[in-house]
Amino acid sequence: MGVKVIPRAARVYIGCALLGAGACALPALRPGAAIPWSTVALLAALYALCELPARCRLLGRGLGGSVPMGTGSFFPVLLAAALLLPPSAAALTALPGSLLARVDEPPAAPRRAWRAAATALAVWAAAHAAGALDSAEALGHGPDVPDFPYALLPAGAAALTFCLVLTALDGGIRAAADGLPPRAAWCGLLGRALAPHTVHGLAGLMMAVLWRSAYGPVSALFVLLPMYISCWVFAQYHRERAAHQATIRALVQAVDIKDRYTRGHSERVGHASVLIARELGMPEDRLDVVRFAGILHDVGKLGVPTRVLRKDGPLTPEERRIIELHPEYGHEMVRGIGFLGDARAAILHHHERMDGSGYPYGLHGDEIPEFARVVAVADAFDAMTSTRSYSRARPVPTAVAELERCAGTHFDPRMVAALVSALHRHGWQPAVTADTADDPAPSAEHVPPPREPLPVQPKEHA
Amino acid sequence: MRPGAATVGAVHGAALLLSLAGLGATLWYGVAEPGNALAFGSLVALGELARWGASPDEREPAPLAAAGALAYALLGTSGGTATTHGVLQIVAVVVAAGLAGIVPHIARGRGPGRDHLARRVLTVGFAALCFQPLYNSGALVEHLGQSPPYALFLLLLLVLTALCDAVLAALLLRARTGFPYGPLLRDELRALLGIGSAVCATGSVMALGVAAAGLWALPVLAVPLLLTQVSFRRYAAVRTVNRQTIASLARATEIAGCTPPGHARRVAALSAAVGRELGLSGAELTVLEHAALMHDIGQLSLVDPVAGGATALLPSGEQRRIALLGGEVVRRTGVPEAVALVVERQADPYREQPLPARIVRAVNAYDDLAGGDGPVAALDALERLRLATARDYHPDVVECLARVLARGGAAGVTSAPTG
């Protein structure tokens, strides 16, 4: 994505696609071609109308896995065109919609041109596939009943062709513009696109059947309403999802209000936890949970009185006991948040140690949930490599050496090894601490809080 | 007996009567066009089966079943040949298929509410009653023919049916909760724009599709609607998560020992009840509820917790300072700006406040003062709010709160004088 300057190869590629699209549409413009212009105009206008508001709302939100659903919600119109019209005319219906729709990233003009050319080519190919299977007869006309299980065949062929051509062209532009190797560019595109296109194919077929039926084009519009609504819901979904991530951040920021020296710590622990988990080969959906566990691990500090958290001077045993309640407070707070799943256990147990000397429950080895062991290592690593008011930041190698020294007694050696190899691979930006920058009178906390893993501090309880 | 029990009983009784009449008549006279009945019946049963994972407060947990039932009610022609089934058969098929589809859910103890079933039966009966007599007498085809106006007529009928459903839903809700009818109806009508319109559109397109292409149209059209259902589910799931997260954030003050347990939740529930009573609905109510949940969050910034967490007893300058701190936190959460505004303004004198802030202020003070200590403390607290209506609490809001409490809108109070 994000190409600001378009490479030469991509320019040539887009140029070829435009020429191809032009060649496809040309027969329709020749004098004497029997084209039902009213149908073409209606479908083209319909597609343009559908795409305009939908794209305005949708784009700017996450691309990612949502692409097939997000940008192609109105492909049924195009597939209906492929079933109803001759190939050259069908290619024309795709143009206004693709040219008018909003573009999310600059440069807009080549992106628009590319989208129009690719869609037109795909529709043209789909119309050819449908035509080869006699779609015109299968759809019926007026009072004639369509030939039904057979009509599924041209519709399926059209949808499949449309999907194949579009993904092939998309993979090509990714290879040309981003310089990806072709295999990587195509990888996964088709698998993600097949299911939505099947649905679009069915909706397109129904549109075409109703368009031709005695009830006329008006009834075909009804097919679009559910599609439009699901598109709208999808946009809402993205908006709410963004809000929900902001709410998670708010929980973290509420901690920051009380305990200023941890600023940025939560996010970094989340990041380091993901590094470890990815190294361990956890699947993608588990990574999200690990990240939440890392980000929220200290949320229970909200329950610790601010006076204790910001205390100047050594903590009394009583105060230390209060601070050590924070994993339980944290667990109590996030208990009600269903989607956090195993992250909740990680929050409760992130101060357990492998030899059973941690808290709150003094669990041993494998009794400690896996995510908690991940977060414990990430937490200790970030605590050592960032500057705190009571200690300077240590360089990464020193911190790693310290972690390795405590592996087995405090930390799970597997997690430590995973962190080490992840650091080799991705490197680490230690905290550029804003902790003290905007905090004129940093609370001189010289007692490391219990998260500090180093055995310098005497153990208060087992 | 609660005042709304008669309404609920009447609606349920009507639905039951209609179902029994339908089933009886169908058993007596036999089924017209059994093929159509079987196809639509299976669609409805499948649609009901597909309600797994629906949260109990979802508006339309089985959109496919609803659309299938409406389509059967509006089915005139099937693949070019006219049908003859009547209103009672439609009700019978929808009821039987619906029951077959929800048996597995009931077995797992997660069956749909009775209100929902009653509404389904009555709305399908309404749609069928509007359409079938006209169609079966031949008047419809004579005047409109098999043409675009016929399609528009179907759409019109479905809009009417949706309105009827909204009226019914608001009626039942009013009977159960005692909230004013207007805002409830407005909520229901607004909800129609969501999944309601998708159901209506699919219902009409199914009726037309079957008319034009025969029963094959059913599976072809069911797939896109399932997609719609899936995306609604995901949307609902994310909304639930948001609510849970906000509730957790609200609990933070309790865990920190700033406020007594359950305070935020009680204030939110009571504020929502008062807001409804005062005519708020939809998005405004959500803002009010979220603001009420998070109204004490500013206390987290205090170095020492307020004794008992009762901000209502603090000097007003201090109250406003805490409110401003809270607004600052809320502003960062990504919830709508309006929520932060309410939190920020909750301690201002009522003349300078927007309505939601007035509600939060009064309800919070009530909960702080009453402290859940039984009816005497509650009455005492209300009395103290009334005494402070010159500057701090809006008199209408306080009276409304008293009404809600008198109705048993929240625990602690069974009756209170209204003025």
Instruction: Convert the pLDDT of each residue in B176-232 to its tens digit.
Output: 877 778 778 887 887 777 677 778 888 888 888 888 888 888 888 888 777 777 777
3-state secondary structure of B304: coil
Given a contact cutoff of 8 angstroms between Cβ atoms, the answer to whether A327 and A314 are in contact is no
Structure tokens at A208: 């075409």
Which chain B residues touch A66 with a CB distance below 8 Å?
A: none
Residues A161 and A109 in one domain: yes
At A459 the pLDDT is: 33
CA B143 from centre of chain: 39
Distance, CA of B346 to CA of B394 (rounded, Å): 12
Residues A389 and A318 in one domain: yes
CA B291 from centre of chain: 20
Structure tokens at A252: 């973290």
At A36 the pLDDT is: 85
Q: Tell me the shortest Cα–Cα distance from A69 to chain B, in angstroms.
A: 10
- Kindly tell me if the per-residue pLDDT of B352 is higher than 90: no
Burial class (CB in 10 A: 0-12, 13-18, 19+), A405: middle
The residues with which B136 forms a beta bridge, in sequence order, are none
Q: Does A149 touch chain B (CB under 8 A)?
A: yes
Better-predicted residue by pLDDT, A231 or B188: B188
Confidence of residue B147 (pLDDT cuts 50, 70, 90): confident
> For residue B260, is the peptide bond before it cis, meaning its omega torsion is within 30 degrees of 0?
no
Among A75, A109, A69, residue whose Cα is nearest residue A93: A75
- Kindly tell me if the per-residue pLDDT of A102 is higher than 80: no
3-state secondary structure of B81: strand
At B40 the pLDDT is: 93
Confidence of residue A461 (pLDDT cuts 50, 70, 90): very low
Given a contact cutoff of 8 angstroms between Cβ atoms, the answer to whether A272 and A294 are in contact is yes
Distance, CA of B82 to CA of B88 (rounded, Å): 18
Phi-psi region of B75 (alpha: psi -120 to 50; beta: other; left: phi over 0): beta
Q: Does A307 touch chain B (CB under 8 A)?
A: yes
Residues B10-42 pLDDT 10s? 999 999 999 999 999 999 998 888 899 999 999
For the ranges A65-69, A268-272, B381-385, the lowest mean pLDDT is seen at A65-69
Question: Which pTM value belongs to this model?
Answer: 0.70
The distance in angstroms from the start CA to the end CA of chain B is 25
| DSSP assignment of B338-360 | HHHHHHHHTTS-GGGS-HHHHHH
Distance, CA of A217 to CA of A46 (rounded, Å): 11
Give the residue from chain A lying closest to B249, CA to CA.
A251
Which chain B residues touch A214 with a CB distance below 8 Å?
A: 145-147, 212
Residues A206-217 pLDDT 10s? 889 888 888 888
Q: What CATH number does the domain located at B256-406 have? A: 1.10.3210.10
Given a contact cutoff of 8 angstroms between Cβ atoms, the answer to whether A323 and A450 are in contact is yes
CB contact under 8 A, B249 and A230: no
At B370 the pLDDT is: 82
For residues A118, A119, A122, A128, the Cα torsion angle rounded to the nearest 10 degrees is -130
At B53 the pLDDT is: 62
At B32 the pLDDT is: 86
Structure tokens at B296: 């004490």
At A156 the pLDDT is: 92
Which runs of E-coded beta strand occur in B188-321?
Answer: none
Total number of domains constituting chain A:
2
Among B112, B94, B105, B92, residue whose Cα is nearest residue B49: B105
Percent of chain B beyond pLDDT 90? 19
CA B161 from centre of chain: 18
| Backbone φ, ψ for residue A105 (5° rounding) | -130, 145
Residues B264-277 pLDDT 10s? 888 998 998 898 88
Confidence of residue A413 (pLDDT cuts 50, 70, 90): very high
Which chain B residues touch A148 with a CB distance below 8 Å?
A: 213-214, 216
For chain A, the average pLDDT equals 79
For chain B, the average pLDDT equals 83
Residues A277 and A370 in one domain: yes
Does residue A438 lie in a domain region? Answer: no
| Backbone φ, ψ for residue A435 (5° rounding) | -50, -50
CB contact under 8 A, B238 and A240: yes
The residues with which B77 forms a beta bridge, in sequence order, are B82
Q: Does B305 touch chain A (CB under 8 A)?
A: yes
Residues A65 and A111 in one domain: yes
Q: Tell me the shortest Cα–Cα distance from A305 to chain B, in angstroms.
A: 7
At A405 the pLDDT is: 92
Confidence of residue B369 (pLDDT cuts 50, 70, 90): confident
Out of B147, B220, B305, the one facing A214 most closely (by C-beta) is: B147
Does residue A341 lie in a domain region? Answer: yes
Which residues, numbered 376 to 435 in chain A, qualify as contacts with chain B under a Cβ-Cβ cut-off of 8 Å? none
Question: SS3 letters for chain A?
Answer: CCCCCCCHHHHHHHHHHHHHHHHHHHHHHCCCCCCCHHHHHHHHHHHHHHHHHHHHHHECECCHHHHHHHHCCCHHHHHHHHHHCCHHHHHHHHHHHHHHCCCCCCCHHHHHHHHHHHHHHHHHHHHHHHHHCCHHHHCCCECCCCCHHHHHHHHHHHHHHHHHHHHHHHHHHHHHHHCCCHHHHHCCHHHHHHHHHHHHHHHHHHHHHHHHECCHHHHHHHHHHHHHHHHHHHHHHHHHHHHHHHHHHHHHHHHHHHCHHHCCHHHHHHHHHHHHHHHCCCCHHHHHHHHHHHHHCCHHHHHCCHHHHCCCCCCCHHHHHHHCCHHHHHHHHHCCCHHHCCHHHHHHHCCCCCCCCCCCCCCCHHHCCHHHHHHHHHHHHHHHHCCECCECCCCHHHHHHHHHHHECCCECHHHHHHHHHHHHHHCCCCCCCCCCCCCCCCCCCCCCCCCCCCCCCCCCCC
Confidence of residue A72 (pLDDT cuts 50, 70, 90): low
Structure tokens at B392: 């701090």
Q: Tell me the shortest Cα–Cα distance from A323 to chain B, in angstroms.
A: 12
Q: Which of A282-296, B14-28, B43-57 has the highest mean pLDDT?
A: B14-28
Q: Tell me the shortest Cα–Cα distance from B198 to chain A, in angstroms.
A: 5
CATH code for position A326:
1.10.3210.10
Non-local (6+) Cβ contacts of A106 within 8 A are A4
CB contact under 8 A, B147 and A227: no
Give the residue from chain B lying closest to A70, CA to CA.
B231
Distance, CA of A146 to CA of A213 (rounded, Å): 9
Average pLDDT over residues A181-185: 74
For the ranges A98-112, A145-159, B109-123, the lowest mean pLDDT is seen at A98-112
Does residue A450 lie in a domain region? Answer: no
Residues A95 and A42 in one domain: yes
At B195 the pLDDT is: 73
Does residue A455 lie in a domain region? Answer: no
Domain span(s) for CATH 1.10.3210.10 in chain B: 256-406
Better-predicted residue by pLDDT, A34 or B151: B151
Residues A154 and A29 in one domain: yes
Residues A160 and A218 in one domain: yes
Q: How far is CA A190 from CA A167, A183, A248, B406, in A?
A: 6, 12, 34, 62
Out of B209, B221, B302, the one facing A306 most closely (by C-beta) is: B302
For the ranges A74-83, B129-138, B184-193, the lowest mean pLDDT is seen at B184-193
CB contact under 8 A, B252 and A254: yes
CB contact under 8 A, A234 and B231: yes
Which residues, numbered 16 to 45 in chain B, qualify as contacts with chain A under a Cβ-Cβ cut-off of 8 Å? none
Which residues, numbered 333 to 352 in chain B, qualify as contacts with chain A under a Cβ-Cβ cut-off of 8 Å? 333-335
User: What ranges in B108-216 are assigned the alpha helix state H?
Assistant: 114-136, 139-144, 148-177, 181-191, 197-213
CB contact under 8 A, A226 and B225: yes
Q: Does B100 touch chain A (CB under 8 A)?
A: no
Residues A179 and A295 in one domain: no
CB contact under 8 A, A146 and B239: no
- Kindly tell me if the per-residue pLDDT of A441 is higher than 50: no
CB contact under 8 A, B205 and A219: yes
Confidence of residue A125 (pLDDT cuts 50, 70, 90): very high
Residues B290-348 pLDDT 10s? 899 888 888 877 777 676 667 777 788 888 888 888 888 787 766 778 888 898 888 88
CB contact under 8 A, B151 and A334: no
Confidence of residue A460 (pLDDT cuts 50, 70, 90): very low
Structure tokens at B64: 């496919």
Given a contact cutoff of 8 angstroms between Cβ atoms, the answer to whether B218 and B39 are in contact is yes
- Kindly tell me if the per-residue pLDDT of A455 is higher than 60: no
Does residue A101 lie in a domain region? Answer: yes
At A47 the pLDDT is: 86
Distance, CA of A398 to CA of A384 (rounded, Å): 9
Average pLDDT over residues A309-330: 85
Structure tokens at A58: 């949708």
Structure tokens at B396: 């209408």
At B3 the pLDDT is: 64
Which residues, numbered 190 to 249 in chain B, qualify as contacts with chain A under a Cβ-Cβ cut-off of 8 Å? 194-195, 197-198, 201-202, 204-205, 208-209, 211-214, 216-217, 220-221, 223-225, 227-228, 231-232, 234-235, 237-242, 244-249
Cβ neighbours, 10 Å, residue A84 = 26
Percent of chain A beyond pLDDT 90? 21
Q: Return the sign of the alpha-carbon dihedral for residues A93, A94, A100, A101.
A: positive
Better-predicted residue by pLDDT, A204 or B333: A204
Q: Does B376 touch chain A (CB under 8 A)?
A: no
Non-local (6+) Cβ contacts of B142 within 8 A are none
Non-local (6+) Cβ contacts of B246 within 8 A are A247, B290, B293, B294, B333, B335
- List of long-range contacts for A132-135, beta carbons under 8 Å, 24+ apart: A132/A157, A133/A157, A135/A83, A135/A208
Does residue A153 lie in a domain region? Answer: yes
Residues A61 and A139 in one domain: yes
At A447 the pLDDT is: 31
Give the residue from chain B lying closest to A301, CA to CA.
B256
Out of A205, A209, A336, the one facing B247 most closely (by C-beta) is: A336
CB contact under 8 A, A199 and B335: no
Q: Which of A52-61, B53-62, B149-158, B216-225 has the highest mean pLDDT?
A: B149-158
Distance, CA of A218 to CA of B362 (rounded, Å): 54
- Kindly tell me if the per-residue pLDDT of A302 is higher than 90: no
At A120 the pLDDT is: 92
At A378 the pLDDT is: 93
Range of the domain at A280: 259-426
Give the residue from chain A lying closest to B224, CA to CA.
A199
Better-predicted residue by pLDDT, A205 or B414: A205
Which chain A residues touch B70 with a CB distance below 8 Å?
A: none
Which chain B residues touch A226 with a CB distance below 8 Å?
A: 198, 201-202, 205, 224-225, 228
- H or E segment at B77? strand B77-78
3-state secondary structure of B112: coil
Given a contact cutoff of 8 angstroms between Cβ atoms, the answer to whether A128 and A87 are in contact is yes
Number of residues that this document lists for chain A: 462
A–B: how many Cβ contacts below 8 A?
A: 218
Does residue A439 lie in a domain region? Answer: no
Distance, CA of A273 to CA of A296 (rounded, Å): 12
CA B139 from centre of chain: 38
CB contact under 8 A, A146 and B213: yes
* Residue type (1 letter), B75: L
Structure tokens at A96: 């206004």
Which one of A244, A288, A348 would you mutate to disrupt binding with B, by most B Cβ within 10 Å of its Cβ?
Answer: A244
CA B319 from centre of chain: 35
Which chain A residues touch B220 with a CB distance below 8 Å?
A: 152, 202, 205-206
Q: Tell me the shortest Cα–Cα distance from B335 to chain A, in angstroms.
A: 6
Give the residue from chain A lying closest to B230, CA to CA.
A230
Distance, CA of A289 to CA of A372 (rounded, Å): 11
Does residue A322 lie in a domain region? Answer: yes
Which chain A residues touch B234 with a CB distance below 8 Å?
A: 237
Residues A276 and A134 in one domain: no
Residues A188 and A314 in one domain: no
Q: Does B147 touch chain A (CB under 8 A)?
A: yes
- Kindly tell me if the per-residue pLDDT of B409 is higher than 70: no
Residues A94 and A183 in one domain: yes
